């Protein structure tokens, strides 16, 4: 993105008969530029090949003519000050113009251009050039970077049209050197004409032509308004005030009988009018405001192809044409006064900047509350919506019809709140939807204890795994339902609803025991017993056969079973047991979730 520059324009246009004299298709007779800038009314061919058969110069390449030039116009200028310099070439948006700028004082040593642009005009831009697009567009790729110049630098400018038909172009100089040096930014000494460079004027202006010459005897003035030079009767002073377009000539008679003849072109442009503008409002949530929507209003029926509309932050900028606001204006805050400038595309010096409008940014409500909440099944209801940041200047409405910023809900569903700020007939709104879900206290469906003795593992199963977290004893909650390396003994398993709808707790016992034993007297696995049972208070183990008959009771004093009942060996089979102990409340509890069977093998 190019940086902001200070704009100041000098410009001249000649239509019809006036334009022809400004065409210079060869570098050798380039039209000199000083202050008011001549404009080409249409280019026709390229004369001599100024590049000596070369096929490339900077970004320009050979055209269908076989040469770099096709329909060309050459200009030259010399800087009279230091600072920032640019220019705008204005043309019909349907035409494709290219340019190359050379820093040299000799057409025979052009070298490479210091600025060059060859993009086609597929975007339909009205301007190409160096610096910044005067419409405020920040995205025109047909612009090159500003020049930083010093006094006395000579430049040659080639403007070229690829097609065989064109309607001409205008040149507008820009940059801060026209602010710091408004009268000598460009050096007029390159123009030797007595009456000076071409003059661009606006209707109702009076242009004073000065032919003062030392020792002159008489001055005779003439005008060519398209039908040849005609004498201006009675005009014989060295100064001539004019107020109409034409080519003016002076014939100065000298004492030795010789004469000095000088011509100058003067062109008048119509003054544009800025029409009254209505104020605008923009919601603060908007990112940009498109200033071009005001163009039709400010032009009031004037032809948009003949006038350029720009917008500015201050009347000073609007009057000078400086610092045009970008067409896509970034939204701000409060109220911004924007000044409109309407200028002639052919002569930006003819402008009107008498109108402005106010762009007021209306605050758009911004709501900040939870958009996903849960109602606990056992609760009666809850409050949703804007509970702390409600604005008394806003109106609130729920999609359920209530006109409040907050709402008490009793069932699951979606609820949408819209807040609106209204000002001067403009409304700015914001909506926010809350999803309400019913949440219930979790339920433990099963606990699997894998008593591996060296690495006991506990897995907890619940009816809903999406909204719960798990804890063993007083440890930290975790999302995993698996606990590893659980020590033997009594433990508490807690499952918590993360939505705040309660917890459920179960007490478990972790012990170890063999899955089978072989009471055959060989000294190996002759007894069935429970390991780590000493961690329990007053443990009691009741062993039953497959028919539910109690065959053995083990306690702290008798912790092993030899496989006998009343002294008789029991048959090989599966046996079941119950483990009870005294819990923390002093009551006897039976251990749950233990895989409580084993095998007797003979």
Q: How many helices, marked H, and strands, marked E, lie in the chain?
A: 4, 47
- pLDDT per residue as tens digits for the range 479-492: 999 999 888 888 99
Q: What long-range pairs does 240-246 form, CB within 8 A, spacing at least 24? A: 240/208, 240/209, 240/211, 241/206, 241/207, 241/208, 241/209, 242/206, 242/207, 242/209, 242/266, 243/204, 243/205, 243/206, 243/207, 243/268, 244/268, 245/18, 246/18
Report the percent of the chain where pLDDT is more than 70: 94
pLDDT(269) > 90:
no
Residue 454 pLDDT > 90, yes or no? no
Answer with the residue of higher pLDDT: 25 or 8. 25
Which of the residue ranges 33-37, 170-174, 432-436 has the most confident prediction, judged by mean pLDDT? 432-436
User: Is the pLDDT assigned to residue 351 strictly greater than 90?
Assistant: yes
Q: What is the mean pLDDT of residues 24-44?
A: 80
Give the fold, CATH level 3, of 444-510.
Answer: Immunoglobulin-like (2.60.40)
Which pLDDT score is estimated for 14?
34
Rounded Cα–Cα distance for residues 429 and 300 (Å): 33
Instruction: Give residue 321's pLDDT.
Output: 86
Average pLDDT for the chain: 87
The length of the chain is 602
Instruction: Name residue 223's beta-bridge partners.
Output: 230, 248
**CATH H superfamily, domain 204-269:** Immunoglobulins (2.60.40.10)
pLDDT digit string, tens, across residues 133-184: 888 788 899 999 999 999 999 999 999 998 767 888 888 888 999 888 888 8
Closest CA to 289 of 321, 336, 323, 322: 336
CATH class of the domain comprising 17-190: mainly beta
What is the domain partition of the chain in residue ranges?
17-190, 204-269, 280-362, 372-439, 444-510, 516-600
Q: How confident is the model at residue 248 (pLDDT cuts 50, 70, 90)?
A: very high
pLDDT at 312 over 60: yes
CA 212 from centroid of its chain's CA atoms: 59
Residue 36's pLDDT is what? 60
Encode pLDDT of 365-418 as tens digits.
888 888 888 888 766 688 899 877 778 889 999 999 999 999 999 888 999 999
CB-facing half-sphere around the CA of 12: CA atoms within 13 A: 23
The dihedral region occupied by 535, where left means phi > 0, alpha psi between -120 and 50, and beta the remainder, is alpha
Q: What is the DSSP string of 177-240?
A: HHHH-TTTSB-GGG---TT-S-EEEETT--EEEE---TT--EEEEEEESSS-EEE-TT--SSEE
Among the listed residues 53, 58, 49, the one whose alpha carbon sits nearest the alpha carbon of residue 26: 49
Spatial distance between the Cα atoms of 570 and 214, rounded to a whole number of angstroms: 149
- How much is the pLDDT for 18? 36
Confidence of residue 2 (pLDDT cuts 50, 70, 90): very low
Question: What pLDDT is recorded for position 311?
Answer: 95
Q: How far apart are CA 390 and CA 403, in angstroms?
A: 12
Q: What 8-state DSSP symbol labels residue 581? A: E
Collect all residues with Cβ–Cβ distance below 8 Å to 454 and sequence separation of at least 6: none
How far apart CA 496 and CA 440 sit, in angstroms, is 11
Statement: residue 519 has pLDDT above 90: yes
Write down the pLDDT at residue 51. Answer: 95
Give the integer Cα–Cα distance in Å for 542 and 530. Answer: 12
Q: Is 226 left (phi over 0), alpha (psi -120 to 50) or beta?
A: left
Average pLDDT over residues 85-96: 90
Which whole number is the average pLDDT over 468-485? 94
- Quick one: how far is CA 524 from the chain centroid? 81
pLDDT at residue 602, rounded to an integer: 86
Q: Do domains 204-269 and 516-600 have the same CATH topology?
A: yes
Task: Return the percent helix, strand and coil in the chain, to nearest 5.
Answer: 5, 45, 50
Q: Taking the chain, what is the end-to-end CA distance rounded to the nearest angstrom?
A: 92
Contacts of 18 (CB under 8 A, 6+ apart): 41, 245, 246, 247, 265, 267
Annotate 72-94 with three-state secondary structure.
Answer: EEEEEEEECCCEEEEEEEEECCC
Q: Nearest-CA neighbor of 48 among 30, 32, 69?
A: 69
Strand 199-202 to strand 259-269: parallel, antiparallel, or no bridges (unpaired)? parallel
Tell me whether strands 97-103 and 115-117 are parallel, antiparallel or unpaired.
antiparallel
Sequence-distant (6+) residues with CB within 8 A of 234 are none
Higher pLDDT, 453 or 297: 297
pLDDT tens digits along 539-588: 999 999 999 999 999 988 787 999 999 999 999 999 999 999 998 888 99
3-class DSSP state of 472? strand
Kind of pairing between the strands at 540-544 and 550-554: antiparallel
In angstroms, the CA 297 to CA 302 distance is 10
Question: Span 239-256, mean pLDDT?
Answer: 94
DSSP of 355-413, one letter per residue? EEEEEEEEPPP-----SEEEEETTS--EEEE-SS---TTSEEEETTS--SSEEEE-S-E
Q: How confident is the model at residue 336 (pLDDT cuts 50, 70, 90)?
A: very high
* pLDDT, greater one: 115 or 91: 115
**Which SS3 state, helix, strand or coil, does residue 435 take?**
strand
Cα-Cα-Cα-Cα torsion 408, 411, 412, 416, nearest 10 degrees, comes to -30
Identify the CATH number of the domain defined by range 516-600: 2.60.40
């Amino acid at each position: 993105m190019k940086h902001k520059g200070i704009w100041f324009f000098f410009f001249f246009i000649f239509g019809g008969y006036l334009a022809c004299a400004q065409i210079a298709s060869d570098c050798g007779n380039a039209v000199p530029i000083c202050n008011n800038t001549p404009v080409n009314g249409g280019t026709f061919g390229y004369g001599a090949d100024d590049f000596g058969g070369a096929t490339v110069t900077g970004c320009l390449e050979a055209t269908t003519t076989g040469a770099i030039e096709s329909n060309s116009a050459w200009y030259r200028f010399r800087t009279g000050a230091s600072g920032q310099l640019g220019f705008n070439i204005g043309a019909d948006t349907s035409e494709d113009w290219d340019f190359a700028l050379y820093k040299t004082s000799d057409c025979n040593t052009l070298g490479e251009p210091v600025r060059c642009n060859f993009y086609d005009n597929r975007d339909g831009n009205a301007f190409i050039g160096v610096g910044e697009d005067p419409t405020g567009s920040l995205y025109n790729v047909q612009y090159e970077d500003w020049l930083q110049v010093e006094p006395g630098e000579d430049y040659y400018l080639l403007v070229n049209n690829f097609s065989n038909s064109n309607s001409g172009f205008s040149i507008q100089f820009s940059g801060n050197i026209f602010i710091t040096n408004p009268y000598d930014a460009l050096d007029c000494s390159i123009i030797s004409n007595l009456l000076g460079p071409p003059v661009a004027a606006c209707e109702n202006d009076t242009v004073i032509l000065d032919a003062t010459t030392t020792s002159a005897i008489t001055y005779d003035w003439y005008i060519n308004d398209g039908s040849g030079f005609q004498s201006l009767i009675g005009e014989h002073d060295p100064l001539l005030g004019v107020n109409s377009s034409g080519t003016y000539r002076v014939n100065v008679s000298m004492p030795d009988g010789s004469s000095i003849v000088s011509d100058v072109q003067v062109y008048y442009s119509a003054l544009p009018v800025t029409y009254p503008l209505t104020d605008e409002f923009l919601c603060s949530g908007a990112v940009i405001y498109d200033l071009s929507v005001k163009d039709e209003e400010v032009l009031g029926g004037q032809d948009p192809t003949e006038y350029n509309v720009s917008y500015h932050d201050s009347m000073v900028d609007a009057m000078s044409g400086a610092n045009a606001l970008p067409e896509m204006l970034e939204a701000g805050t409060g109220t911004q006064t924007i000044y409109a400038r309407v200028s002639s595309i052919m002569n930006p010096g003819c402008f009107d900047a008498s109108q402005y409008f106010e762009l007021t940014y209306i605050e758009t409500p911004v709501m900040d509350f939870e958009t996903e909440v849960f109602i606990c099944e056992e609760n009666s209801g809850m409050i949703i919506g804007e509970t702390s940041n409600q604005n008394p200047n806003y109106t609130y409405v729920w999609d359920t019809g209530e006109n409040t910023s907050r709402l008490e809900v009793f069932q699951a569903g979606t609820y949408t709140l819209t807040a609106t700020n209204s000002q001067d007939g403009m409304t700015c709104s914001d909506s926010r939807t809350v999803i309400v879900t019913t949440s219930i206290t979790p339920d433990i469906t099963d606990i699997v204890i894998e008593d591996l003795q060296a690495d006991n593992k506990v897995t907890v199963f619940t009816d809903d795994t999406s909204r719960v977290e798990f804890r063993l004893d007083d440890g930290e909650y975790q999302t995993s339902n698996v606990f590893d390396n659980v020590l033997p003994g009594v433990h508490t398993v807690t499952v918590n609803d993360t939505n705040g709808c309660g917890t459920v707790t179960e007490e478990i016992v972790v012990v170890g025991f063999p899955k089978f034993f072989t009471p055959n007297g060989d000294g190996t696995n002759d007894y069935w017993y429970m390991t780590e049972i000493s961690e329990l208070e007053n443990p009691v183990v009741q062993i039953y056969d497959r028919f539910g008959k109690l065959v053995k009771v083990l306690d702290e004093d008798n912790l092993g079973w030899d496989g006998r009942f009343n002294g008789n060996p029991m048959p090989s089979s599966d046996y079941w047991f119950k483990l009870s102990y005294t819990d923390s409340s002093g009551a006897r509890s039976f251990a749950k979730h233990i895989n409580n069977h084993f095998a007797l093998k003979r």
